[in-house]
């Protein structure tokens, strides 16, 4: 995968079985690529959290999602681009939940947007086909801003036996 940054990887023994091993970032990135539903957490202007499910594609070392310019998440990100995307399973004793912390950056380059639009179709099907116009997606729902979130910090929560918590830090992030 292009654009992939190799993070510092650490298993947190406080929250892991004695036999657990840290998950490789390449494995976590593959899970991000395959995951269908994500939860985006942003912060409203008054400081209250806002969480919403959405679809996203993993490309060039970042998660990409789109939203209408008037939607709450777009308004939140305009004021504070820091956000968290999560994905995983609802099972208590199987799978691995992933948490990606980063900053949402608007994607407006039309060549990149066309590649992302194609990635949406490949992953989610024809009903998610977008045109690209004026630095955004356009479709049946109107204009959609596109954001990229490259991980600054990420966490993996392996569930079942052994359970474990892996922490990935990118570019010296704390």
Span 99-120, pLDDT tens digits = 999 999 999 999 999 999 999 9
Task: List C-alpha distances in Å: 162 to 21, 95, 138, 172.
Answer: 9, 11, 45, 28
* Whole-structure pTM value: 0.93
Tell me if 62 sits within 8 A of 119, measured CB to CB: no
Percent of the chain with pLDDT over 70: 95
CA 80, CA 71: separation in Å to the nearest integer? 14
Task: List C-alpha distances in Å: 164 to 17, 21, 136.
Answer: 6, 7, 39
């Amino acid at each position: 995968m292009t654009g992939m940054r190799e993070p510092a990887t650490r298993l947190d023994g406080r929250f892991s079985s004695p036999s657990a091993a840290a998950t490789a970032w390449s494995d976590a990135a593959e899970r991000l690529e395959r995951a269908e539903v994500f939860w985006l957490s942003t912060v409203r202007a008054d400081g209250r959290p806002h969480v919403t499910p959405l679809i996203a594609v993993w490309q060039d070392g970042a998660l990409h999602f789109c939203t209408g310019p008037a939607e709450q998440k777009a308004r939140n990100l305009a004021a504070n681009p820091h956000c968290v995307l999560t994905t995983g399973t609802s099972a208590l004793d199987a799978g691995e939940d992933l948490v990606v912390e980063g900053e949402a950056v608007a994607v407006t380059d039309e060549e990149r947007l066309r590649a992302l639009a194609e990635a949406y179709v490949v992953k989610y099907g024809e009903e998610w086909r977008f045109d690209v116009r004026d630095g955004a997606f356009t479709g049946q729902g109107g204009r959609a801003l596109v954001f990229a979130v490259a991980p600054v910090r990420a966490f993996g929560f392996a569930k079942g036996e052994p359970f474990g918590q892996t922490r990935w830090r990118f570019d010296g992030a704390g």
